[in-house]
Amino acid sequence: MPDVLAVLEQRGGVVKRVSLETLAAARSLADDLECDVHGLLIGPPNTSAEGLGDYGADKILTSLDGELELYQASRYGQIAAEQATAGDYTAVVIAATALGKDLGPRIAARLGCTLASDVTSLSGSENIVVSRPAFSGKAIYKIKITCAPCVVSIRPNAFSPILTSHAGAVEEVSPGDGPRPSDARTVAVKEPQQAALDVAEASIVVSGGRGLREAEHFELVEELAQALGAAVGASRAVVDAGWRPHSEQVGQTGKTVSPNLYIALGISGAIQHLAGMRTAKVIVAVNKDPDAPIFKVADYGIVGDLFEVVPRLTEEIKRAKEG
């Protein structure tokens, strides 16, 4: 039976948490198909593949090289496609992160089979069947894939890591040829001065909208986010007004997020915003307008002036965390 290849992601040699989700998705597919999961880890020589067997990997292939610390699109694509062809695989699973969204299509193009991106569920029998959002979550496609090995990118936070003991034996594979002169090269990664959680990966997101009235008032959002260990998000209106960077925008022309908790402050809930956050597990809204559409999707709402409600909420959260 052909196996499932899970392409894992590292940063600075440490496997990212989202890769445990990739393994979980690959494992559930492999259990459907009664086959094995092989993880592929591309990174610098100090990359550790230890413990990945506990998350469902039967085998981990490591392709390590000093020049693979940063994401080098062409080489990563070549290595992944080579490994996918060297084994007998029915599917390649990758996380739909910034890296995965770039690498997934490269692997698929090289394998000559399709890519289903941002998948929220998958199953396998005769064919692989996936569900994936379209129109940024306003509708959901159920798609049967009729080629192999196909590439499936999974949406972060859609699959939970599962502890399930497998061998996880590590096998080194070739890091392939060095870069060709014609390759695009990642020459640097600029870290922001203040390390910020990314809105698409965070398990809690606190977002602000026009109800904050001024860019400076986003301090309220930041303080609550800090108390919760959350990422800061923003509505399109405040991004277009230049109050917040576009990287924080949640919605159809921004990021689609599925955190455990999404708190919307002063966001009315335009269709295109709801499309970006409606798959959050729990939604909280604070808005002074009781008829705001955001309350239609919110699990918990407070009607009121956010300038009064939010400081109190921050205070109560801090107290709850201490207690």
Region from 24-32, 43-51, 85-93, 186-194 binding other proteins, contact rule CB under 8 A: 186-194
Region from 39-47, 49-57, 60-68, 292-300 binding other proteins, contact rule CB under 8 A: 292-300
The burial class, CB within 10 Å (0-12 / 13-18 / 19+), for 97 is buried
Please state, in angstroms and as integers, the Cα–Cα distance from residue 53 to each residue in 21, 49, 56, 236, following that order. Answer: 13, 9, 5, 42
Tell me which of 164, 183, 217, 222 binds other proteins, using CB under 8 A: 183
CA atoms 67, 73, 74, 77: torsion sign: positive
Determine if 226 is a binding residue for other proteins (CB under 8 A).
Answer: no
Determine if 53 is a binding residue for other proteins (CB under 8 A).
Answer: no
Q: Which two tokens stand for residue 62?
A: 């490591």
Determine if 46 is a binding residue for other proteins (CB under 8 A).
Answer: no
Determine if 67 is a binding residue for other proteins (CB under 8 A).
Answer: no
Determine if 104 is a binding residue for other proteins (CB under 8 A).
Answer: yes
Write the CB contacts of 11 (distance below 8 Å, at least 6 apart in sequence): none
CB 103 within 8 A of CB 111: no
Determine if 179 is a binding residue for other proteins (CB under 8 A).
Answer: no
Helices (H), ranges, 52-117: 73-86, 98-111
Nearer to other proteins, 58 or 92 (CB): 92
The radius of gyration of the chain from alpha carbons, rounded to an integer in Å, stands at 21
Applying CB under 8 A, what is the total number of residues that bind other proteins?
A: 103
Tell me which of 164, 196, 217, 222 binds other proteins, using CB under 8 A: 196
Determine if 249 is a binding residue for other proteins (CB under 8 A).
Answer: yes
Rounded to a whole number of angstroms, the minimum distance from the CB of residue 118 to other proteins is: 7
Tell me which of 48, 121, 138, 226 binds other proteins, using CB under 8 A: 138
Tell me which of 47, 136, 258, 268 binds other proteins, using CB under 8 A: 136
Nearer to other proteins, 6 or 111 (CB): 111
Nearer to other proteins, 19 or 53 (CB): 19
Rounded to a whole number of angstroms, the minimum distance from the CB of residue 214 to other proteins is: 20
Task: Identify the three-state secondary structure at position 287.
Answer: strand
Tell me which of 19, 47, 268, 279 binds other proteins, using CB under 8 A: 279
Q: How far apart are CA 304 and CA 112, in angstroms?
A: 55
At residue 213, what are phi and psi to the nearest 5 degrees? 70, -35
- The amino acid that residue 67 corresponds to is E
Tell me which of 124, 137, 149, 209 binds other proteins, using CB under 8 A: 137
Determine if 123 is a binding residue for other proteins (CB under 8 A).
Answer: no
Residue that the structure tokens 């509708």 belong to? 139
Q: How far apart are CA 114 and CA 107, in angstroms?
A: 9
Determine if 75 is a binding residue for other proteins (CB under 8 A).
Answer: no
Determine if 102 is a binding residue for other proteins (CB under 8 A).
Answer: yes
Tell me which of 112, 125, 126, 178 binds other proteins, using CB under 8 A: 112
Determine if 45 is a binding residue for other proteins (CB under 8 A).
Answer: no
DSSP for 120-163? SEEEESSSEEEEEEEGGGTEEEEEEE-SSSEEEEEPTTSS----
